Amino acid sequence: MRAGLLLLLLIPVFALAQPAVLRIQGSNTIGAELGPALVRGLLQAQGARQISTVPGEHPNEVQINAVDASGQPLSVTIGAHGSSTGFAALKSGNADLVASSRPINDQERADLQASGDLKSSEAEQVIAIDGVAVIVHPDNPIRELGTEQLAQLFSGERTQWDSLGGKGPVHLYARDNQSGTWETFRELVLAPQGKSLSADAWRLESSEQLSDEVSHDPQAIGFIGLPYVRHARALAITDGAAQPMLPTRSLIATEDYPLSRRLYFYLPPGQPNGWAQALVRFTQSDPGQAIVAQCGFVAQTVQAIQVLATDRMPATYADLTRQAQRLSVNFRFAKGSASLDNKARADVQRVIDYLNRTNKLVHQVTLVGFGDEKTDPDRARLLSRLRAMAVRRELVKQGVVLREIVGMGSEMPVAGNAMDEGRIKNRRVEVWVH
């Protein structure tokens, strides 16, 4: 942990903001467990005492109470009714921090313009990586599905398991309309196929309840955040020409899993609440990311991963797997831009910290760029190399001397190229260490 952050965490709790109250509204995925755990972690780091969590006035609400170092009472409230409710609460003045399991949309950004640009790097904070797991009853014989098949199922176009290798009618379970998990599933699965959710789907606000219902219904299929798979079974998912992928931690960390997603805190940059600022900084610290992992999500801590060569890999890439390890981070780019997105800019520092710790700053790093499909393969390779060069520029500023830069073009896609979201996922840069 850097000295500046450590100093902030040692500031007496009563000095952070007046009044010392924080209101968090939004995602149930975050607010059910992760949000309260992060708040308790911050309070403990600040030396607060008598920390307790009690139910709020309504379901999916909690209040965390404590006493600060000077004996003053503290209260943090968390409402977990869905990502869209967080942005609405911020607009109405009933929230200081938004928890969201999907990015802010253009309309919300415009509605909140008076609070500052919530897409700025200061406001939009990626706090964890999650995967939307597609779950079935443990006895369901099906092991993998494509995104097109998922769209057919959840739209009601396919109503029987028999056509996919199972038996009997399909029972659909989905999160409610306020849920960022639902919005992510809709954007990644239903919208690309031009479909809508079947009216027969059972809608639930609670992640835990949805998972438990699926695990007790042999005909069920649902979708949920990774930590809430519980007693159900997750399917491997394919998208386009990509290979089937289970929602494993390594594939979610790199965001290669087709239904991976980012979890966010949105902090209004105009007049930020001091406690909200402190919580964001704590969440991005090593102790905060440890809590992220403890709650079942994927932390952004950089690690080296051993990748096994397969017959489906190009020879150049297969050779690299035998010589080096891949870091658990992919650099991606802002939509319609050659600039790194907000997470990628933060990941630059995380990679630098890892290289410093492991003494790999000089001639130990290979960057591998990928892109979406082009009519001219040479152009695709050039663009993928240029993306790697964009990452190189940021690393060189911090003293990294690269070993090699490779452009793989449109090889090894992790998503389909028919929609913008898939093309954005395929435009990525991997980091390998020797």
CATH number, position 361: 3.30.1330.60
The count of structural domains within the chain is 3
CB 95 within 8 A of CB 233: no
Q: Which uninterrupted H or E stretch holds 131?
A: strand 124-136
Is residue 141 located within the same domain as residue 238? Answer: yes
- Please give the Cα distance from 148 to 188 (Å, whole number): 10
In a domain, 199, yes or no: yes
Is residue 309 located within the same domain as residue 228? Answer: no
Task: Name 236's bridge partners.
Answer: 144
Is residue 221 located within the same domain as residue 313? Answer: no
Question: Does residue 231 register a pLDDT over 90?
Answer: yes
Residue 375: the pLDDT is: 84
Domain containing residue 24: 3-127+263-294
CB atoms within 10 A of CB 7: 9
Is residue 308 located within the same domain as residue 423? Answer: yes
Question: Does residue 18 register a pLDDT over 50?
Answer: no
Is residue 378 located within the same domain as residue 406? Answer: yes
- Please give the Cα distance from 170 to 185 (Å, whole number): 18
Q: Which of 253, 277, 310 is the C-terminal boundary of a domain?
A: 253
Question: Does residue 288 register a pLDDT over 80?
Answer: yes
Is residue 57 located within the same domain as residue 104? Answer: yes
Question: Does residue 270 register a pLDDT over 90?
Answer: no
pLDDT tens column, 378-407: 999 999 999 999 999 999 999 999 999 999
Question: Does residue 16 register a pLDDT over 80?
Answer: no
Is residue 328 located within the same domain as residue 274? Answer: no
In a domain, 359, yes or no: yes
Is residue 191 located within the same domain as residue 285? Answer: no
Long-range contacts of 378-387 (CB under 8 A, 24+ apart): 380/409, 380/410, 381/407, 381/408, 381/409, 382/407, 383/407, 383/409, 384/408, 384/409, 384/410, 384/427, 386/338, 387/331, 387/333, 387/338, 387/427, 387/428, 387/429
CATH of the domain at 8: 3.40.190.10
- Please give the Cα distance from 56 to 77 (Å, whole number): 8
What is the average pLDDT score of the chain? 92
Question: Does residue 2 register a pLDDT over 60?
Answer: no
- The dihedrals phi and psi of 163, each to the nearest 5 degrees, come to -70, -10
Is residue 187 located within the same domain as residue 116? Answer: no
Is residue 233 located within the same domain as residue 351? Answer: no
In a domain, 258, yes or no: no
Burial of 18 (C-beta count, 10 Å sphere; 0-12/13-18/19+): exposed
In a domain, 69, yes or no: yes
Residue 336: the pLDDT is: 73
Is residue 56 located within the same domain as residue 153? Answer: no
Residue 6: the pLDDT is: 46
Question: Nearest Cα to 265, choosing from 114, 95, 15?
Answer: 95
Question: Does residue 229 register a pLDDT over 60?
Answer: yes
Question: Does residue 68 register a pLDDT over 70?
Answer: yes
Residue 69: the pLDDT is: 87
Q: pTM of this prediction?
A: 0.85
In a domain, 270, yes or no: yes
Residue 420: the pLDDT is: 78
Is residue 353 located within the same domain as residue 269? Answer: no
